[in-house]
Every structure is written in C-alpha cells, then in structure tokens.
Amino acid sequence: MAKTIGKKDSRAEALREWNKILGLWRVCDKAACRKARACRGNVRACAPVNFARVPEDVQGWFGCLLLAKEDGLSFDEAMTEIEKTPAAEAFRAWHAGGSSFA
Ligand SMILES: [Zn+2]
C-alpha cells in the first residue's frame, strides 16, 4: 500500500497534536495510547470520544481557544487571554494530574 503523506493526513496529524495538547490520551480506552501519552489508535475515532470524557473545564479551555481564534487572535494571544480565566488553572491541574488518573 502506498504511503500518503501530505494534505490527506494533515487533519489526522492536527488531531494527534490536539490529542497531546489536551491530554486526551489520559481518558483513552486503549492502554497503548495512555502508555505512549499520545494517541496510537485511529485518532479520528479516538479524539471525539475522548474529548467528551475530559473534565468540563478542559473542554471549556478548548472552547476559549476556539473563540479566541474566531476573534482572530494568534495562539499566543489566545493563551494570554485564557490565562485570565479560571480555565487556565483547571487546564494546568488536569495536566499536573499525571498518571494517577489511569
Ligand atoms: Zn487513543
């Protein structure tokens, strides 16, 4: 089977990145994902399911980011804005949770 690299995979790649940023692997059913601290499975199938499982505050953090993007802010600007909200603290706590969750 031919390897397809490029546009076709860029969405999956982006999802994989978000999986890491949001720590979605923490709530994944697959032990391989949790072990790798990244999605090892079909990220298109994994990401939406896992996103629904993360704490509301983490979803809120992501929502803030999307809103900031709609407002035309850069990623860094968005981060600065989010820092002013309780979502930033919740997001840090989520990542600081470590492996105790699994
Ligand atoms: Zn997974």
Q: What is the pLDDT of residues 9-30, one digit of tens each?
A: 788 888 899 999 999 999 999 9
Q: Which residues surround the ion ligand 1 when the cut-off is CB under 5 Å? A: 28, 30, 33, 39, 41, 46
Residue 68 and residue 77 in contact, taking contact as beta carbons nearer than 8 Å: yes
User: Taking all residues of the chain, what is their mean pLDDT, rounded to a whole number?
Assistant: 86
Q: How far apart are CA 42 and CA 30, in angstroms?
A: 11
Is 102 among the domain residues? no
* Residue percentage of the chain with pLDDT more than 70: 87
Q: Tell me the whole-structure pTM to 2 decimals.
A: 0.78
Same domain, yes or no, for 70 and 84? yes
Same domain, yes or no, for 38 and 17? yes
Residue 102 and residue 26 in contact, taking contact as beta carbons nearer than 8 Å: yes
Higher-confidence position of 99 and 9 = 9
Token pair listed for 99: 């492996």
Is 2 among the domain residues? no
Owning domain of residue 44: 10-54
Give 55 Cα–ligand 1 centroid separation in angstroms: 17
Cα dist. 58→5, 8, 34, 46 in Å? 31, 28, 18, 17
pLDDT at 102 over 80: no
